[in-house]
């Protein structure tokens, strides 16, 4: 007697990745509050426009009906579109930021493990990007990066020297492999040069609501320092960062 087919589960989800598979199927990566990151198979998604409509796009919030696997991948039975983030899709810079937010939150999330904070962060970021008409400030992106690291259990240490525990003072460095700041005199090895003012400002973005940093300026400093920390943790680059960097016309930072 064959085992019973697993019963479907309905979960809120944000689409963080889409990839064509075989002749007509689509592999979809979802970020959910209850199951973390899940990879699901949408059968015949590219053969029938009626089945999923326009729901399977990066950044979309959906109500997903998923079926646990008997073997292999989860199945996506239905995807009801809740928010298509339509305003974002009129502006390349905001599209790039949404893709970047999806990549960092999705990749930092654990597989099949509750991730309500990363889900909430990504949903809020996409909602805010959809509500504005111009790209937000760099502080918005850095707040997103700092919060994503924090909610993944990898909070950067920015408010003190991680070696001597004293307050920041020039010169400081941020270690991209650990995400912690040190006085230059307290550490051996290379890091990203930063100022105490920059550290204070980025720490403020980490602690305050994301919506408070849409237009907030940052002191001069390395634009992609926290991205380096995320990439070090993931042990691979962020594909969307290269695209976003080109759209925002910023240069990647390098360790000194």
Burial of 109 per CB tally in 10 Å (0-12, 13-18, 19+): buried
Is pLDDT above 90 for 33? yes
CB 108 within 8 A of CB 152: yes
Residue-wise pLDDT tens digits, 1-22: 456 677 889 999 999 999 999 8
Residue-wise pLDDT tens digits, 195-205: 999 999 999 99
Is pLDDT above 80 for 126? yes
pLDDT, mean over the chain: 91
Within 10 Å of residue 21's Cβ, how many Cβ atoms?
Answer: 16
Is pLDDT above 50 for 217? yes
CB half-sphere exposure, 145, CA atoms < 13 A: 23
Among 110-114, 134-138, 163-167, the minimum mean pLDDT is found in 134-138
CB 232 within 8 A of CB 241: no
Confidence class for position 250, pLDDT limits 50, 70, 90? low
User: Which domains does the chain possess?
Assistant: 9-83 (2.40.50.140), 95-248 (1.20.1440.120)
Q: What average pLDDT does range 191-217 have in this prediction?
A: 93
CB half-sphere exposure, 85, CA atoms < 13 A: 29
Q: What average pLDDT does range 210-215 have in this prediction?
A: 91
pLDDT confidence of residue 98: 97
Q: How far is CA 158 from the centre of its chain?
A: 20
% of the chain surpassing 90 pLDDT: 77
pLDDT confidence of residue 4: 65
Q: What average pLDDT does range 221-228 have in this prediction?
A: 94
Confidence class for position 116, pLDDT limits 50, 70, 90? very high
Is pLDDT above 70 for 254? no
Is pLDDT above 50 for 251? no
The whole-angstrom separation of Cα 41 and Cα 20 is: 10
pLDDT confidence of residue 2: 55
pLDDT confidence of residue 3: 60
pLDDT confidence of residue 26: 93
Among 13-22, 23-32, 68-77, 100-109, the minimum mean pLDDT is found in 68-77
Q: Which of 18-27, 103-112, 129-138 has the highest mean pLDDT?
A: 103-112
Confidence class for position 69, pLDDT limits 50, 70, 90? confident
């Amino acid at each position: 007697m064959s085992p019973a087919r697993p019963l479907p589960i309905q979960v809120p989800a944000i689409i963080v990745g889409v990839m064509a598979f075989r002749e007509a199927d689509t592999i979809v990566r979802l970020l959910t509050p209850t199951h973390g990151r899940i990879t699901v198979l949408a059968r015949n998604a590219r053969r029938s426009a009626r089945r999923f409509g326009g729901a399977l796009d990066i950044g979309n919030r959906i109500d997903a009906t998923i079926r646990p696997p008997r073997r292999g991948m989860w199945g996506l039975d239905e995807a009801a579109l809740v928010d298509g983030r339509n305003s974002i899709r009129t502006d390349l810079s905001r599209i790039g930021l949404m893709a970047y937010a999806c990549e960092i939150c999705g990749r930092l999330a654990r597989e099949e493990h509750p991730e309500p904070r990363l889900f909430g962060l990504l949903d809020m970021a996409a909602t805010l990007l959809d509500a504005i008409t111009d790209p937000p400030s760099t502080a918005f992106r850095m707040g997103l990066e700092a919060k994503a690291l924090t909610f993944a259990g990898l909070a950067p240490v920015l408010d003190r020297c991680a070696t001597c525990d004293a307050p920041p003072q020039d010169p400081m460095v941020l270690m991209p492999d650990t995400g912690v700041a040190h006085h230059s005199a307290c550490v051996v090895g290379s890091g990203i040069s930063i100022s105490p003012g920059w550290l204070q400002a980025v720490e403020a973005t980490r602690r305050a609501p994301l919506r408070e940093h849409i237009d907030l300026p940052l002191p001069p400093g390395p634009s992609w320092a926290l991205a380096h920390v995320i990439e070090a943790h993931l042990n691979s680059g962020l594909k969307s960062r290269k695209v976003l960097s080109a759209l925002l016309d910023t240069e990647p930072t390098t360790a000194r």
